[in-house]
Amino acid sequence: MLKQSLQLKLGQSLTMTPQLQQAIRLLQMPTLDLQAHLAEVLESNVMLEQEEPEADDEVEFGAAFTAVAPQSAPPADDEGPVEVEVVDQPWADRAGTGSDAGRAEDDEERERDLADERGESLREHLLGQVALLGLSDDDLAVATALVDALSDDGYLTESLAEVAATLRPAIDRDEEEIERVLLLVQKLEPLGVGARDLAECLQLQLAPLDPATPGLALARDIAASHLDLLALRDLGPLRRATGADEDGLAAAIALVRHCHPRPGSMISTARPEYIVPDALVRRTTRGWAVELNDRTLPRLRVNQDYAGMLGRGGGGGHAVLRSQLQEARWLLKSLEIRNDTMLKVTRAIVERQSAFLAHGEEHMKPMILKDIASAIGMHESTISRVTSGKYLHTPRGVFELRYFFSSQVEGDDGAGTSSTAIRAKIRKLIRDEPPENPLSDGRIAELLSAEGIPVARRTVAKYREALGLASSAERKRVGTR
């Protein structure tokens, strides 16, 4: 028979409260996502209101951006201890977020204006030119059908028979008549559209060139019959197949590579994506100053009139309003936690990477999440959330916070060198090499080892390929880097 009993147990468990869950969620949100989230909260929670901007906020915002001009970087021989100060933040002195509500409204208006602008599509671009050709109604319908059959890259994806079938029964044209109109379409800008394969695309782009152009005849021959040999990156078989000398072959290859393999992609409908930096760093007389770019967010606060009326009301009524008041206070506290954590992480990164800010990529120090976590006394998962999708505006440009983290190569003196710094050194060595005698991967490895950075030839090759740089043989052969 079962019977009821009471038992006492001791144990430990980790429970994520709603407040903690909200703080973590806000912590990993980039600025634009946080903007959208706060806008939704403002609409749904009557206990939150948007603060009016102060008169000098906009001037201060402009000064923050002008202060990080590239010329504010210290001279190359600047030595000494690094001091990173934290600029006073408005959110630290009030129960809300420190932002410029007026600027946020202006940004929203600009976003609406941008949303109304649409880039011209490839179809619209071509049909606008077709309308100027003075075609008959039937030819205009054929040209429109051909444009509709183009891919985003500008290639004709349907056969002439399939295009003819789409026109029937309204228009009955054979393949020869359709190809006549196709030749007109292939003369439209950008050159190369309407091609049925890569060879035809390249020939269309080479066709308008002056016949006296050095290497043009050979370039047309390569585009028509030898693209497979060109793709091998071994010019020996291509030289034997064409019977050309080294100089003539180099000129022809340069013409072919100057052509665009996907001409339709040059007419893009994609709207530009703008990065809103989450933090700013600028040079001061004492070192580096770090502040959060919180002016892109609405400045929130608890509506004291509603909160006061709710407090004077007493009793157990207005449960929904009381719940919204609690949620509003949790949100403001979570935003303060987010701002404090962002500031700590950004300051620690700037302290460690001050040499990069002053002198460039070659002075980037190796750094992993654990280094920052140990410096500020937080868990690595928190650092990962803070640095993911967040951007820092520096005198050298805007970088994702994760950019400052890299692995290291152990040097002869026991000090590590960042992989980012090694890639920068490889890029510089190749940029400064003599064109007639480019550096091999092995020679680059020797030069780096002489600087106390022992790297293998295969490591140099891996970094060089990641930078999109050709091998020494290719750089010498075609004169490109």
Residues 314-367 pLDDT 10s: 545 578 888 888 888 888 898 888 889 999 999 999 999 988 888 888 888 888
Q: Which pLDDT tens digit goes with each residue over 386-410? A: 888 889 999 988 999 999 988 777 6
108-112: long-range contacts at Cβ-Cβ below 8 A with a sequence spacing of 24 or more?
none
Question: Within its chain, how far is the Cα of 388 from the centroid?
Answer: 13
Mean pLDDT value across residues 82-103: 51
Q: Which pLDDT tens digit goes with each residue over 222-240? A: 888 888 887 776 677 878 8
What per-residue confidence (pLDDT) applies to 66? 33
For CA atoms 357, 361, 367, 369, the dihedral sign is: positive
What per-residue confidence (pLDDT) applies to 209? 87
Question: Within its chain, how far is the Cα of 192 from the centroid?
Answer: 29
What per-residue confidence (pLDDT) applies to 64? 38
Whether the per-residue pLDDT at 152 is higher than 90: the answer is no
Tell me whether strands 391-394 and 279-284 are parallel, antiparallel or unpaired: parallel
- Give CA–CA dist 225/335, Å, rounded: 63
Amino acid letter, 413: D
What per-residue confidence (pLDDT) applies to 13? 65
Angle at 202 between CA 196 and CA 208, to 5 degrees: 115
What residues contact residue 393 under an 8 Å CB cut-off, 6+ apart? 65, 68, 277, 279, 280, 281, 293
Band of pLDDT at residue 303, cut at 50, 70 and 90: confident
Which comes out higher in pLDDT, residue 56 or 244? 244
| Burial class of residue 3 (count of CB atoms within 10 Å of its CB; 0-12, 13-18, 19+) | exposed
**Arithmetic mean of pLDDT over the chain:** 79
What residues contact residue 444 under an 8 Å CB cut-off, 6+ apart? 426, 429, 430, 460, 464
* Contact yes or no for 394/74 (Cβ under 8 A): no
What per-residue confidence (pLDDT) applies to 62? 38
pTM (two decimals): 0.58
For CA atoms 387, 391, 393, 397, the dihedral sign is: positive
Whether the per-residue pLDDT at 16 is higher than 90: the answer is no
What per-residue confidence (pLDDT) applies to 316? 54
Per the listing, tokens 């196709």 go with 182
